[in-house]
Structure 1
Amino acid sequence: MVGAFEQALLALMIFVIMLGMGASLTPRDFYLALRRPYGLAIGVISQYGFMPFIGFLLATLLTVPETIAIGILIMACMPGGTTSNIFTYFSKGNLALSVLMTVTSTVTGVIMIPLVLLLYATALDLNIPRENIIITLVLLLVPVGIGMVLRKINANVGAVTEFFGSALALFFIAFLMVSWIPRNWQFLLETSGATYLAAIGLGAVGITIGYGFARALKLHPRNARTVGLETGIQNGPLAVAIIVFTFEGTEAQAVMAVPVLYSLFIIIVASIVTMIFRRANTAAEQKMPDSLL
């Protein structure tokens, strides 16, 4: 379980991560996004069309307890995480598009996350307290706004804030490894293989489908790689935060299993995918015309 100190530390980390995301934005980014509704549509469809459906299928096809199924759905309904921006950079993808998709899915998540959770939780006859989730999501928009203001006031401060926000997203994984996992080791040993399969499969299948979707739309390979990574790499810290502030006791521990395992394994999955993408980054590809989409 997560203690009071860890809850406070987690809340602080989420605040800084979202602050960094906001610091990466300017009003011009929103203007450019609105000029490219096609790109916004791809981001929304990838995050809130494919991923929740993948989560629904995993929760339906795998034999898992109700609490694990809830964890799968919550993780699948999360927006893109800032970690995807880092892997997009190393995959030689389109970093501008990556940031645009992350921000779009985060902002629209205030509406889309409760909607898709309601849809799939009802289909699986699961009870998820959506009111707490909505409140948490609304509050998370505050640091995004503060980050944008910092960027507007001082570009250097904004750049530093953006860097720390992205770095803290990776630090979150280390935090889980040294804090949550050792104290819940027995719980993880007793966790079924189906739970591990769901945690790993969610990211791997998401990246694959997102990439295939982008290629089917005939996007430039750089953009296709970006869409794939953005689709499969969800905001794990946000999922854990929502669970911590929504559920209690042993129920929270069980629901948290998939998001925690996902956050750990997605680094491995994304690293393997990044190596594959880099090998595919041929000279011929670089000669192809490129754009934001």
Structure 2
Amino acid sequence: MTALARFSSFVGNSFALWVLSFAALGFLFPDTFRQLTPWIVTLLGIIMFGMGLTISGRDFAEVLRRPYQVGVGVAAQFVIMPLLAVVLTLLIPMSPEVAAGVILVGCCPGGTSSNVMTFMAKGDTALSVACTSVTTLMAPVVTPFLVLMLASEYLPVDAWAMFQSILKVVLLPLALGFAAQRLLPALVRAAVPMLPLVSVTGIVLIVAAVVGASKGAIIQSGAMIFAVVALHNLLGYLIGYLAARVAGVDLAGRKAIAIEVGMQNSGLAAALATAYFSPVTAVPAAIFSVWHNISGAVLASWLARRT
């Protein structure tokens, strides 16, 4: 078990490399990995269950202890990234499917990778975890609403069905994981070291499935989508940091909010795009999964030197 835990930790620490490798495999062997497309929602549910196993009452106590800073982070998350997505779709010519996918990524909550990157950046990790938890809990209502308001001009949006899906694949697994902590604490403590392996496996399979199902679209417009995704992510970091600074948040908190804003739950975006739009709409989410882990690690290394 110790060896498996060490391997799990290694996989978690080399997350970006695994995502990049499986994206390449999905591109090279599309027929193999596109068969995983029907399992994307299930894989996301497993990932969210793992997140539920690690959420504690302390994370929600942090919200009560520092409501202002958490409020700044949550507001920045659900304002900056959706608006940036809209601006990019207006400035850069792209198909309706890709535009809807970019907006969908922007409307999702923060990703759990942001917590790791904040820790690496010597930022306020407790604030990052609190923001991720709150935005994830808000996602069933906020994400469908934002997608309906901002993306319906590109593709039809079934906000009610999307709300129900997020409840099933995000909140229900989170709740089950949180309940397992209370009912089976010893078993959960033994399982927690394995969670990086489970989470990384789920994400890389989602990315490979989306890439495999969308190889044609990637060949046709992959460079443009990558440019949009990279701009979206990098501007999210920058504007998130500046917004936190204007709001009077300290340096450690600015690091946390910048990373929280820039790193999205792209797995959720890929699952929703696949379920309600098309594989092409999921391509920005797949590319975001690869890119934001690379950019996040680079940014965290640079921010760690700012004290």
Under a length normalisation based on structure 2, what TM-score does the superposition of the two structures give? Answer: 0.81
Is 2:157 the counterpart of 1:128?
A: yes
Alignment match, 1:226: 256
Write the distance in 1 (CA, Å) between the matches of 2:192 and 2:270. Answer: 21
- 1:225-244 equivalent positions in 2, closer than 5 A: 225-244=255-274
Corresponding letter in the other structure for 1:54: L
Alignment match, 2:134: 104
Check 1:268–1:5 CA distance in 2 against 1; reply closer, same or farther (3 A cut): closer
Deviates more, 1:224-233 or 1:124-133: 124-133
Deviations 1:179-208 (CA, angstroms, capped at 9, x unpaired): 543564443121154322211111111111
Check 1:132–1:103 CA distance in 2 against 1; reply closer, same or farther (3 A cut): same
Check 1:228–1:159 CA distance in 2 against 1; reply closer, same or farther (3 A cut): farther
Alignment match, 1:171: 201
Corresponding letter in the other structure for 1:107: L
> Which of 118, 123, 145 in structure 1 is aligned with 2:148?
118
The count of residues paired between Structure 1 and Structure 2 equals: 275
Alignment match, 1:51: 81
Aligned partners of 1:132 and 1:245 also within 8 Å:
no
> Which of 199, 207, 226 in structure 1 is aligned with 2:237?
207
Check 1:225–1:150 CA distance in 2 against 1; reply closer, same or farther (3 A cut): same
The alignment-based identity, stated in percent, is 23
Structure 1 residues without counterparts, runs of 5 or longer: 286-293
- 1:269-288 equivalent positions in 2, closer than 5 A: 269-280=295-306, 285=307
Deviations 1:111-156 (CA, angstroms, capped at 9, x unpaired): 111221222235x464222222111111121111111111223444
Write the distance in 2 (CA, Å) between the matches of 1:65 and 1:24. Answer: 39
Check 1:128–1:227 CA distance in 2 against 1; reply closer, same or farther (3 A cut): same
Corresponding letter in the other structure for 1:143: P
> Which of 62, 72, 78 in structure 1 is aligned with 2:102?
72
Aligned partners of 2:62 and 2:130 also within 8 Å:
no
Is 2:293 the counterpart of 1:267?
A: yes
Write the distance in 2 (CA, Å) between the matches of 1:143 and 1:81. Answer: 16
Alignment match, 1:7: 38
**SS of residue in 2 equivalent to 1:191:** helix
Deviations 1:64-93 (CA, angstroms, capped at 9, x unpaired): 111111001101000011111111121122
Alignment match, 1:289: none
Under a length normalisation based on structure 1, what TM-score does the superposition of the two structures give? Answer: 0.84
What is the RMSD computed on CA atoms of the aligned residues?
Answer: 2.3
Write the distance in 2 (CA, Å) between the matches of 1:21 and 1:218. Answer: 30
Deviations 1:198-228 (CA, angstroms, capped at 9, x unpaired): 1111111111111111122232212111111
